[in-house]
Chains A and B, each alone.
Chain A
Amino acid sequence: GAVVSQHPSWVICKSGTSVKIECRSLDFQATTMFWYRQFPKQSLMLMATSNEGSKATYEQGVEKDKFLINHASLTLSTLTVTSAHPEDSSFYICSAILRGTGDQPQHFGDGTRLSIL
């Protein structure tokens, strides 16, 4: 069964609003969670790496004030897209590494499709 749950799976909102996406590890503790962005028919682009209790590490070119990541517990990380605009529309996917399994594999959520009108 699924080990990572992402919510919501689909969201449509108006330009200028903020949207929060949750990523939960189910029945296990995650040492590290990752946030990816996927454009249509393209590969996954790593946005940031999130460790519980510490600030997220953002990849080059990703605006940390735009994409706020909070990793408050070992089972939950959230991505907030602030003041979203149509160019932020995308498929966002999180993943998690289980505590005690080393560096791999990553377990992925089912993704969140974000559409900004």
Chain B
Amino acid sequence: GNSVTQMEGPVTLSEEAFLTINCTYTATGYPSLFWYVQYPGEGLQLLLKATKADDKGSNKGFEATYRKETTSFHLEKGSVQVSDSAVYFCALSGRGGNKLVFGAGTILRVKS
């Protein structure tokens, strides 16, 4: 079945540091890939997405590239802020399907 594996956290960074959160997936066919962010006590917000190989999703300084050859969708940001502290979830949905499969989530803590 489909699955998503994320790097374990928590990830603790200083403000303005470079961020990478690794995400790899297993899926049949060509899934769509997503990053969601969850701030404390809130639901999830879509951060970015990519629907086909080599697509780059980007939003709010975050970006991730759909790499079919390595089945990866790593999240990056060049300079993190304290306000980026949250839990980040990588997810996929199968082609033609609407169910999301989530990774375990990675806690990001940014210190000033």
Contact = CB atoms under 8 A, between A and B. Distances in A.
**A and B held together in a complex:** yes
Interface of A: 4, 6, 32, 34, 41-44, 46, 49, 93, 95, 97, 103-111, 113
Given A106-B46, A107-B46, A111-B41, 10 more contacts: A4-B43, A43-B89, A44-B44, A46-B99, A46-B100, A49-B98, A49-B99, A103-B98, A108-B36, A111-B43
Nearest to A102: B98
Interface size class of chain B, counting residues whose CB lies under 8 Å from the partner chain: 20 to 34
B16 to A, nearest CB: 27
Given A42-B104, A42-B105, A103-B93, A32 B98 contact: yes
A110 B32 contact: no
Contact of B43 (A32, A97, A110): A110
A103 B45 contact: no
